[in-house]
Amino acid sequence: MRARKIKDRIYWMGSVDWDRRLFDALIPLPDGTSYNAYLIEGSEKTVLLDSVDSPMADELLAQLEGVSKIDYVISHHAEQDHSGTIPQILEKYPEARLISTPKAKGLLMDLLPIPEESFITVKDGETLSLGDKTLKFIHAPWVHWPETMVTYLEEDRILFSCDFFGSHIAATDLFVTDEGRVCEAAKRYYAEIMMPFRKVIGKNLEKLASYDIEMIAPSHGQIFQRPALIIDAYREWTLGPVRNTVVLPYVSMHASTKQMVDYLVSSLVEKGVGVEQFNLGVTDIGKLAMALVDAATIVIGTPTILAGPHPYAAYGAMVHSWQMPFVPKQNFFP
Task: Choose, by CB under 6 A, the member of 17, 59, 163, 192 that binds ligand FEO.
Answer: 163
Query: Cα angle vertex 175, ends 172, 180, to 5°?
Result: 95
Tell me how far, at minimum, the Cβ of 149 lies from ligand FEO, in Å. Answer: 13
| 302 neighbors 257 (Cβ within 8 angstroms) | yes
Instruction: Point out which span in 8-16, 43-51, 78-86, 239-247 binds ligand FEO (CB under 6 A).
Output: 78-86
DSSP 8-state class, residue 117: G
Q: Does 79 bind ligand FEO (CB under 6 A)?
A: yes
d(CA 317, CA 323): 10
Tell me how far, at minimum, the Cβ of 35 lies from ligand FEO, in Å. Answer: 8
Q: Does 168 bind ligand FEO (CB under 6 A)?
A: no
| 148 neighbors 164 (Cβ within 8 angstroms) | yes
Q: Give whichever of 118 and 219 is closer to ligand FEO, judged by the CB atom.
A: 219
| 55 neighbors 46 (Cβ within 8 angstroms) | no
Q: How many residues bind ligand FEO (CB under 6 A)?
A: 8
Instruction: Point out which span in 39-47, 77-85, 103-111, 286-294 binds ligand FEO (CB under 6 A).
Output: 77-85
d(CA 127, CA 120): 12
| Residue closest to ligand FEO, measured at CB | 79
d(CA 249, CA 313): 8
From the list 252, 253, 276, 281, the residue with the least C-alpha distance to 265 is 276
**DSSP helix/strand/coil, 105:** helix
DSSP 8-state class, residue 14: E
Q: Give whichever of 31 and 79 is closer to ligand FEO, judged by the CB atom.
A: 79
Q: Give whichever of 20 and 82 is closer to ligand FEO, judged by the CB atom.
A: 82
Buried b (16+ CB within 10 A) or exposed e, 257-280: bbeebeebbeebeeeeeebbbbeb
**DSSP helix/strand/coil, 265:** helix
Tell me how far, at minimum, the Cβ of 191 lies from ligand FEO, in Å. Answer: 14
Instruction: Point out which span in 75-83, 126-134, 178-186, 206-214 binds ligand FEO (CB under 6 A).
Output: 75-83
Give the residue ranges of DSSP H helices in 70-147: 80-83, 86-92, 102-111
Instruction: Point out which span in 54-62, 74-82, 243-251, 272-280 binds ligand FEO (CB under 6 A).
Output: 74-82
Instruction: Point out which span in 73-81, 85-93, 116-124, 200-208 binds ligand FEO (CB under 6 A).
Output: 73-81
Task: Choose, by CB under 6 A, the member of 76, 144, 198, 310 that binds ligand FEO.
Answer: 144
Q: Give whichever of 133 and 144 is closer to ligand FEO, judged by the CB atom.
A: 144
Task: Choose, by CB under 6 A, the member of 76, 133, 220, 310 that binds ligand FEO.
Answer: 220
Residues from 229 through 258 that contact ligand FEO (CB under 6 A): none
Q: Does 81 bind ligand FEO (CB under 6 A)?
A: yes
Instruction: Please name every residue paired with 98 in a beta bridge, in sequence order, or none if there are none.
Output: 73, 119
Instruction: Point out which span in 55-63, 76-84, 107-115, 248-256 binds ligand FEO (CB under 6 A).
Output: 76-84
Instruction: Please name every residue paired with 16 in a beta bridge, in sequence order, or none if there are none.
Output: 34
Handedness of CA 48, 52, 57, 60 (dihedral sign): negative
- Using CB under 6 A as the criterion, which residues of the chain lie in contact with ligand FEO when the complex forms? 77, 79, 81-82, 144, 163, 219-220
